[in-house]
Amino acid sequence: NVDEYGFERPSDFDYGTYEEFMSEYLKVLAKRAKKWADIVGEGKSLERSITIKRYVRKGIPGEHRGM
């Protein structure tokens, strides 16, 4: 059994706990993606700032990678 990143899950993997966690974490990811969309915008250039640094450390959403 393999996760979305290609790593094998152990045989005793707890899907219930995972689903419970992901249901809450997806809300966090959606909020984070919206913040990125607002700060990147249409063709905006990013300047170094504390805000950008914090966003990068928390993770760049897939749709904003490789821009």
Secondary structure class of 19 (helix, strand, coil): helix
Does residue 46 contact residue 40 with C-beta atoms inside 8 Å?
Answer: yes
pLDDT in tens, 3-53: 988 999 999 999 999 999 999 999 999 999 999 998 888 677 788 889 889
26 CB-side CA count, 13 A: 6
pTM above 0.85, yes or no: no
Residue type, 54: R
